[in-house]
Structure 1
Amino acid sequence: MDFNGSDTIPGPRTEDHLPHTAQAAVKIVIVGGFGVGKTTMVGSVSEIRPLTTEETMTQAGIGIDDNYGSDSKTATTVAMDFGRISLTEKLVLYLFGTPGQERFWFLWNGLFEGALGAVVLVDARRLEVSFDVMGRLEERGVPFVVAVNSFPDAPRYPLEELRTALDLAPEIPIVDCDVRRRASSKDVLMTLMRFLHSLALSGALT
């Protein structure tokens, strides 16, 4: 194995170490259908080198994997994506991105275990793939926020119209985002943490 001309596996970088000020760590899952931007979100916001388990999509996947019109997508997550972000000096989020292809959804239950909350990424061009995702979270009792990822060719709808189309409860936050931008992805996570805080104050978070 060769890393920049060396046969030695590189050790952790300084920035990979958990901040000494950290007092609380929270597990968050990033979920959504195929190609909605889960891997991109984890990669854009993570303060450590993200761990990805992507595999190249091949002819063998035809008839099994549906790319939902994402013809430019050549890889798919087969297990999970993993990253970390310090929202404050004391609060660290561990991010787990789920696989989008339905044949890998059996892995979701394990990834949901111990999660305090979730971000549901949505593509406005294909809202229908989001219903199963949200249903699984509701079955597991995992609170979530919805983030509508911006795609260049995606139509723009008012968030309240999307709330109605997705049949979201009034209290569930829904926001626009561009997961390619770190600041935008971080804003989504801040929205989730504020939502979880409000649930905790009301006694609804168990």
Structure 2
Amino acid sequence: MVSANSADRYLPHTVQQPVKILIVGAFGVGKTTLVGSVSEIRPLRTEETMTEAGAGVDSLAGLPEKRTTTVAMDFGRITLNERLVLYLFGAPGQRRFWNLWEGLAEGAVGVLVLVDTRRLEDSFEVLDQLELRGDTPFIVAVNRFPDTQHYSEQELRQAMDLLPETPIVECDARDRTEAMDALIALVQHATELSRARKVAS
């Protein structure tokens, strides 16, 4: 978690463009970690300790150290430059919380889909949900874990049935620079799509 002093709590008066980003992914892929690693303010988290009630529902395969889960959202903020600030909203991964997505997604310019290739099949329903919810731009970010097996972009694109124009990036959600690069890639993709749509219209 990034600590913040009092000066970090307020945006500079030069900020002209707040941008909302939604971060989604299956259970345990690292959404909370990513928001915490990049946020310049103390992240708002709604984590609860996992209990036996989740046994048989939330698979902990490959996640032996996981003890908590997000039940509403994660929220963070990052100022990219003197005029542009990102507001980050991390959505819960479990299906039973997906009814929260609609509110969190409202006004978002793009979606960062975080995936864990050790449990890639868990991401399929998440991607399906994005397709059902409209034309919000998204990119896929592969979160590298210590025991992650490497796959080529072509293998990943085929496994997730992604369109050729959907970007795939890699990052370590714990690393601020790499997580920032993934977010910047999303903003660039959303900007390019927006320009292309304006030209087409």
Please state whether the residue corresponding to 2:12 is helix, strand or coil: coil
Counterparts of 1:59 and 1:197 in 2: how far apart (Å)? 44
For residue 16 of structure 1, what is the aligned residue in structure 2?
9
Structure 1 residue ranges without an equivalent (≥5): 1-11
For residue 181 of structure 1, what is the aligned residue in structure 2?
175
Counterparts of 1:19 and 1:183 in 2: how far apart (Å)? 22
1:60 aligns with 2:43: no
Please state whether the residue corresponding to 2:48 is helix, strand or coil: strand
The answer to whether the 8 A contact 2:27-2:58 is kept is no
Superposition RMSD in Å: 1.7
For residue 26 of structure 1, what is the aligned residue in structure 2?
19
Counterparts of 1:97 and 1:20 in 2: how far apart (Å)? 26
In the comparison of the two structures, how many residue pairs are matched? 195
The answer to whether the 8 A contact 2:171-2:178 is kept is yes
Please state whether the residue corresponding to 2:117 is helix, strand or coil: coil
Q: Which amino acid aligns with 1:58?
A: T
Which structure shows the higher helix fraction? 2
The answer to whether the 8 A contact 1:83-1:96 is kept is yes
Structure 2 residue ranges without an equivalent (≥5): none
What's the offset of the Cα at 1:68?
3.6
For residue 189 of structure 2, what is the aligned residue in structure 1?
195
Counterparts of 1:103 and 1:69 in 2: how far apart (Å)? 21
What's the offset of the Cα at 1:95?
0.3
Q: Kindly report structure 1 stretches of 4+ aligned residues shifted beyond 3 Å.
A: none
The answer to whether the 8 A contact 1:34-1:68 is kept is no
1:154 aligns with 2:148: yes
Please state whether the residue corresponding to 1:118 is helix, strand or coil: strand
The answer to whether the 8 A contact 2:62-2:118 is kept is no
TM-score by length of 2: 0.92
1:147-205 CA-partner distances (Å, limit 9, x unpaired):
00001111111122111111111111101111100000100011011101110111179
Which entry has the higher C-alpha Rg, 1 or 2? 1
The answer to whether the 8 A contact 1:22-1:91 is kept is yes
The answer to whether the 8 A contact 2:8-2:40 is kept is yes
